[in-house]
């Protein structure tokens, strides 16, 4: 099938070819049918080297950035991961191929309902969805082994740092409204350490601990 071929080429050229070495991330991206996570009119562009619009002014990220963020989380099969910004559901599906359970929060009602149905249709039973402001995290399910924020803010929301377990990893685009740096925060007994994985460009994280709505 052509999508299987295009997916294999995407992984070879854009993921492995650009230096991603995390076998779990690579295997997950070989499996998840990305073309089912984009609007019908864009299915033939799903495996291209770029983000795509998914409606509601939002985007599905470029395949490489999905792989880079997934790799940075150093995931284990027993992990419970929180994602902020469900969007198309593609990143959550990649995580769900690797870990025990994914909790994902979306603030846009249309995307929330559409993607929840897609998870059901594709039988991603280990993804738990929530409609709401992800900058406040999901206190009732914390602590998390890893947290991934797929929208950009000026700072890492404090509730997310608080809800990260000991030894936990968090990745998030941090910076201005147009351009950010991908930040990796790690929590250990000595406190938190922060490093940069390089520049990136994400839509705005909007919420109580993020940007205000336009």
* Site for ligand SAM contains 206 (CB under 6 A): yes
Closest-CA residue to 89 (of 119, 51, 110, 69): 119
If binding is defined by CB under 6 A, does position 134 make contact with ligand SAM? yes
Out of 59, 70, 163, 180, the only residue in the binding site for ligand SAM (CB under 6 A) is: 59
- Residues within window 16-45 making contact with ligand SAM, judged by CB under 6 A: none
The verdict on whether 61 is a catalytic residue reads yes
CA distance 107 to 104: 10
The 3-state DSSP composition of the chain as helix, strand, coil percent (nearest 5) reads: 35, 30, 35
Given the residues 45, 61, 88, 196, select the one marked as catalytic. Answer: 61
Q: Which of 56, 108, 114 is nearest to 90 (CA)?
A: 114
CB of 191 to ligand SAM, least distance (A): 26
Q: Is residue 181 a contact partner of residue 202, using CB atoms and an 8 Å limit?
A: no
Among the listed residues 105, 127, 164, 171, the single contact to ligand SAM using CB under 6 A? 105
| Binding region for ligand SAM (CB under 6 A) | 58-61, 84-85, 87-88, 90-91, 105-108, 111, 133-135, 150-151, 202-203, 205-207, 210
Residues marked active site are found at 61
């Amino acid at each position: 099938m052509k999508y299987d071929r295009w997916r294999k080429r995407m992984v070879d050229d854009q993921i492995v070819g650009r230096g991603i070495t995390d076998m779990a991330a690579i295997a997950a991206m070989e499996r998840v049918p990305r073309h089912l996570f984009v609007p019908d009119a864009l299915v033939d562009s799903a495996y291209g080297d770029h983000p795509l619009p998914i409606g509601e002014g939002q985007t599905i990220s470029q395949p490489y950035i999905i792989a880079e963020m997934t790799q940075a989380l150093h995931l284990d099969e027993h992990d419970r991961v929180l994602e902020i910004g469900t969007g198309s559901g593609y990143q959550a599906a990649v995580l769900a191929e690797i870990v025990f359970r994914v909790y994902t929060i979306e603030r846009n009602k249309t995307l929330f309902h559409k993607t929840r149905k897609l998870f059901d249709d594709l039988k991603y039973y280990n993804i738990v969805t929530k409609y709401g402001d992800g900058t406040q995290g999901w206190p009732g399910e914390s602590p998390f082994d890893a947290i991934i924020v797929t929208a950009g803010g000026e700072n890492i929301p404090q509730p997310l740092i608080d809800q990260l377990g000991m030894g936990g990893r968090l990745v998030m685009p941090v910076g201005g409204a147009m351009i950010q740096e991908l930040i990796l925060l790690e929590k250990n007994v000595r406190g938190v350490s922060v490093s940069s994985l390089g520049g990136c460009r994400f839509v705005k994280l909007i919420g109580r601990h993020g940007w205000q709505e336009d």
